[in-house]
Chains A and B, each alone.
Chain A
Amino acid sequence: MTEIFVLVEHRQGKIREVTYELLGWGERWIGQQEGRLTALLLGYGVKELAEELSMRAPRVLVVEDERLKDFNSIYYQRVLSSLLSRYQPLLLLMGHTAYGMELAPSLSVELDLPLATDCIDLSFEGRQLKALRSIYGGKINAHVTLKESKTYMITLRPGIFPPKMPEEKKGTIVIEPSPIQETTERKRFLEYIEAPLTGEDISQAEILVSVGQGIGGPEHLPMFEELAKSLGGMISCSRPVVDRNWLPKERQVGISGKTVKPKIYIAVGISGAFQHVTAIKGSDTIIAINKDPRAPIFGVADYGIVDDFQNVIPLLKEKVKGMK
C-alpha cells in the first residue's frame, strides 16, 4: 500500500491553508489506488487542531511534546526522521513555505532521501517520481526526475492546488509518543513579531496601482501616486521596491506582505513571481503593464498592455484626472 504523509503547518493556534492544499493534492493523487493519506500534526495542546484536521484527512497522526509548541526545525526534524524511518511512506509532502524551506533540506540530508523543492506538479512513472518546477521567475518550466527511492520528499508551491474541503466522515486520530529526548540550546524559538499597524491599509483599497522593480527607480513614484489619487485608489508594490526603500513595507503585496482583493489591481513593471501573484488572486480585475510579452503576470491578468510604462502611464494619468 502506498502511503502519503502530509506535514501539517500551524501557527498561533491555526492550521495554515497550505496544509489543505497538500491534502487536496494527496487525495487526488491517491484517487482510486490502494493508498492512504496521513496528516502529521506535531505540536503541543493540539487536540482541537487534530479534530479539525480529521474532517479533511482520513488519518491524523499526532505527536505532542512541549518542545513542539512553536516551530523549531531541530525538533521537527527529530520527530519526522523517526516517523519516516518507521513508516517509510512513499512521499512526504510539505509546503514550500517558511516551514518547508527551513526543514526539508536538512531532513533530506540526514535521511539521505531525494528532495525536490518548490514543485508545481508531480507524477509517478512506476516508482520513479517526476517533478515539475517553475524556474527563471516563472518564465520556464523544468522537468526533473528524482533518484529512485523508497521515500521521496517534496515541497509544493503554495497557492496553486485547490484545498481539500471538510467532509462528513471523520478520519481517525492516532497518537504517537514523542521521540524527542534531549532539549537543545542550539536553536531556540523566542517570540513572534507582528507587523506594525501603521498608515493606510492597502488590503482595504478598492483600486490599487501597484509598482514593481520595472519602474526603474523612486523618481517615477510621484506619477503613480497621482494616478492612484485620481482613481480614488492607493499605491502598492512588489517586494524589491520595499527592499530598496522606495516605499515602506506596509505597501508590499505578496506572501510576505499583504493579501489584497481590490476591484481593480493595476500591476506596472511587476514580473509575476508566485510570491506576488498568490496574494492578488482575489482581485476582481487585474490589469498588467509590462514590456516583456512573456512576463508571467500576463497569465493571471485579465487585461494586458505590452509596452514601456513610460508610454502609457503619463497618458493614462492625464486621461483619468478628476475621474474619482
Chain B
Amino acid sequence: MNIIVCVKRVPKTAEADLFIEKDGKDIKKDHLVFALNDWDSYAVREAVLIKERYGGEVMAITVGPEDSKEVLTRCLAMGADRALRIEEPPCFDALLIAKILARVIQGQPFDLILTGVQTEDDGWGQVGVSLAQLLGIPHASIVNRIEIENGKARVKRELEGGLEELLEVRLPALFTIQTGINEPKYVSLAAILEAEEKEMKEVGLEELGWTSMESLYATLDQVSFPPAGKMAEILKGSPEEIVNQLTEIIKKKKG
C-alpha cells in the first residue's frame, strides 16, 4: 500500500491577535506560530496506521515556501518514509495547488492519497477533491474511518447531526480526512532525530514544467475584519465583580 499524504503549514490564529498587512491582501504573519494543519496531522497519522496494518510506504508532499520543510520533518517524525516540498507559486488558488500536486503525483506509484478535509487558514476544502478529479480517481470527503480489503476501501463519511454513511470505494482513491479519525501519537525526540535522516526532496516549479502561471479561478482582492455587527455585552470589573454580575444574570435567566 503506497500512500501519499498532502499537507500544509499554517499559522495558528485561534488565540492570536491578528493584524492586516498594508496592502490589505493578507494578515501579518511574522508574529504568528506556524504548525502542521490540524486536519493534515490526522491524515498523516492515518496513513502511518494504514501502513502499519497493510505494509507499504508513506510519502508526505507539500506545496509551500522553504519554511514548510519543518512540517515535512514533523510528518517524517510521525512515521512517513519520504517527503517532498514543491516550490510555491507567487499567486495561487486551491485549484492551482491541486494541479501542481496532480502533476507531481502522476509520476508516482500510489494506492491511496490522503489530505485533510480543509486547512485552518483559508479553509477552501477544495484541494483534495479537485486533485482526485484531476487524477481521474474516486474520492470520499470528511472521512472518519478507513478499512481496506481486496483493492477496495470501506470508508465512513461524516454527515450532519451525528449521522454517518458507509461507502465502498475502489482503489486507487483519495480521501479527505476528518479530525478525530484516530488518536494522535506523541512524537518523541528520538523520532524527530530519526526524521532528520530520512529522504526529503525539493522540486522547483520550472523543473515541473510550469513556466508561466495560468490565470486563477479565484483571486483574493483584499482581507478585512468582519464588521462589528451585534456584539455581546462585555462584563467589566475585577474577577469578583464580574462573577457577581454573572451570577445575577444566571439567576435571572434561569427563571
Bitwise, A67-96 to B at CB < 8 A (1) or not (0) is 000111110000000000000000000001
CB of A141 within 8 A of CB of B225, answer yes
Within 8 A of B (CB), among A247-266: 249, 255-259, 263-264
Determine if B231 is an interface residue (Cβ-Cβ < 8 Å): yes
Q: Contact partner of A294 among B17, B117, B156, CB < 8 A?
A: B17
CB of A136 within 8 A of CB of B217, answer no
CB of A255 within 8 A of CB of B239, answer no
- In the bound complex, residues from chain A placing their C-beta under 8 Å from that of B217 are 108, 114-115, 146-147
- In the bound complex, residues from chain A placing their C-beta under 8 Å from that of B235 are 303-305
Determine if A151 is an interface residue (Cβ-Cβ < 8 Å): no
- In the bound complex, residues from chain B placing their C-beta under 8 Å from that of A101 are 117, 125, 129, 141-142
CB distance from A247 to the nearest CB of B (A): 12
Q: How far is the CA of A73 from the CA of B253 in the complex (A)?
A: 46
Q: How far is the CA of A147 from the CA of B216 in the complex (A)?
A: 7
CB distance from A209 to the nearest CB of B (A): 11
Q: What range describes how many residues of B lie at the interface?
A: 35 or more
Q: How far is the CA of A20 from the CA of B42 in the complex (A)?
A: 34
- In the bound complex, residues from chain B placing their C-beta under 8 Å from that of A187 are 138-140, 167-170
- In the bound complex, residues from chain A placing their C-beta under 8 Å from that of B204 are none
CB of A98 within 8 A of CB of B130, answer no
- Given A135-B123, A256-B162, A263-B254, CB of A188 within 8 Å of CB of B246: no
Q: Which A residues lie at the B interface, using CB under 8 A?
A: 11, 16, 70-74, 96-98, 101-102, 104-106, 108-110, 114-118, 130-131, 133-147, 185-195, 206-207, 213-214, 231, 239-240, 242-245, 249, 255-259, 263-264, 271, 284-288, 291-294, 296, 298-307, 311-312, 315-316, 319-320, 323
Given contacts A264-B250, A299-B229, 14 further A-B contacts (CB under 8 A): A98-B157, A98-B159, A101-B142, A105-B126, A105-B129, A130-B221, A145-B219, A146-B218, A185-B170, A193-B164, A231-B250, A243-B180, A304-B232, A312-B246
Q: Enumerate 15 A-B pairs (CB-CB under 8 Å) in ascending A order.
A: A105-B133, A106-B129, A109-B133, A115-B217, A130-B221, A135-B122, A139-B226, A141-B226, A143-B223, A144-B221, A146-B218, A189-B167, A195-B161, A213-B14, A284-B253
